[in-house]
């Protein structure tokens, strides 16, 4: 074996085995306060909202499950077959746990769609344009008037563009942040507002259209429903698999 990654992983397995012998059958899964804070921050960056207690519990459970899957992957033989990074091992363990999942019947998919109807809405979206000035305008009100009357000078270029057609709220949040999104959602249609200071200059916006979220017809999301159903089947199978190892891998919150 000459691949350094293979040698590294095999060395890690040896250390893991030695640690197991020293510690006995219990091998705690430690989740520090700092690591939990990172998980919560990642969630907030992705969603734009702070995690509730339910979400926080799910973040802890997800971290715990991934650690158990990783450790069981190391104990098995698949490392020799495919010596990849941690995420690959976790994915392979999931595939192993769920390899005999059955194909769902049409009635099961329909029931799943009805039970999870909130997933299958098209996100509310915005159509708007922006005008960018590199320097803070000397007279913002004069520039707003010029923009409204269509006689303003050309905008400075923006890395995101100047025209945005039917952008979902989450995409707008990712591009401009929560504050700008809130302003766009509350702005009067076809009326310029600003300036909004940003790293690349001073931004003015005009919203031309807002569309509320709407339920997508089942025929349009059938494949997504099928995929979501399979994911839930997999999660149930993984829950059962991981629960068998909770005595071996006790979760200790707040541990370093």
Query: Which residue reads 């149930």 in tokens?
Result: 236
- Alpha-carbon distance 254 to 248, whole Å? 19
Longest dimension (CA), the chain: 77
User: What pLDDT does 132 receive?
Assistant: 96
- 253 bridge partner residues: 31
How many C-beta neighbours within 10 Å does residue 1 have? 8
- Structure-token pair, residue 217: 């017809």
- 205 bridge partner residues: 130, 193
- Alpha-carbon distance 72 to 60, whole Å? 18
User: What pLDDT does 72 receive?
Assistant: 81
* Coil, helix or strand at residue 29: strand
| Residue-wise DSSP of 84-116 | --HHHHHHHHHHHHTTTPPPPPHHHHHHHHHHT
Per-residue pLDDT at 244 exceeds 70: yes
How many C-beta neighbours within 10 Å does residue 169 have? 17
- Alpha-carbon distance 125 to 56, whole Å? 28
Most confident of 63-77, 167-181, 237-251: 167-181
- Contact between 187 and 205 (Cβ < 8 Å): yes
- Alpha-carbon distance 171 to 169, whole Å? 5
User: What pLDDT does 23 receive?
Assistant: 45
Instruction: Kindly report, residue by residue over 138-176, the tens digit of the pLDDT.
Output: 999 999 999 999 999 999 999 899 999 999 999 999 999
- Alpha-carbon distance 52 to 48, whole Å? 12
The answer to which of 44-48, 121-125, 210-214 has the lowest mean pLDDT is 44-48
């Amino acid at each position: 074996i000459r691949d350094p990654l293979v040698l590294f992983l095999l060395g890690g397995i040896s250390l893991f085995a030695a640690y197991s012998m020293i510690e006995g059958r219990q091998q705690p899964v430690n989740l520090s306060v700092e690591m939990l804070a990172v998980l919560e921050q990642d969630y907030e960056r992705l969603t734009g909202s702070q995690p509730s207690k339910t979400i926080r519990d799910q973040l802890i459970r997800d971290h715990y499950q991934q650690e158990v899957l990783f450790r069981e992957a190391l104990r098995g033989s698949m490392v020799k077959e495919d010596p990849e990074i941690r995420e690959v091992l976790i994915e392979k363990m999931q595939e192993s746990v769920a390899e005999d999942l059955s194909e769902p019947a049409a009635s099961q998919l329909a029931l799943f769609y009805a039970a999870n109807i909130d997933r299958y809405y098209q996100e509310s979206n915005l159509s708007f344009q922006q005008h960018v000035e590199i320097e803070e305008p000397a007279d913002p009100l004069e520039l707003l008037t010029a923009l409204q009357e269509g006689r303003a000078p050309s905008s400075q270029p923006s890395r995101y563009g100047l025209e945005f057609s039917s952008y979902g709220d989450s995409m707008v949040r990712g591009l401009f942040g929560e504050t700008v999104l809130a302003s766009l959602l509350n702005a009067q249609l076809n009326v310029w507002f600003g300036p909004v200071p940003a790293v690349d200059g001073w931004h003015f916006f005009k919203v031309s259209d807002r569309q509320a979220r709407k339920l997508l017809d089942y025929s349009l999301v059938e494949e997504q429903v099928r995929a979501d159903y399979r994911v839930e089947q997999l999660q149930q199978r993984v829950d059962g698999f991981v629960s068998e190892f909770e005595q071996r891998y006790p979760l200790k919150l707040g541990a370093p």
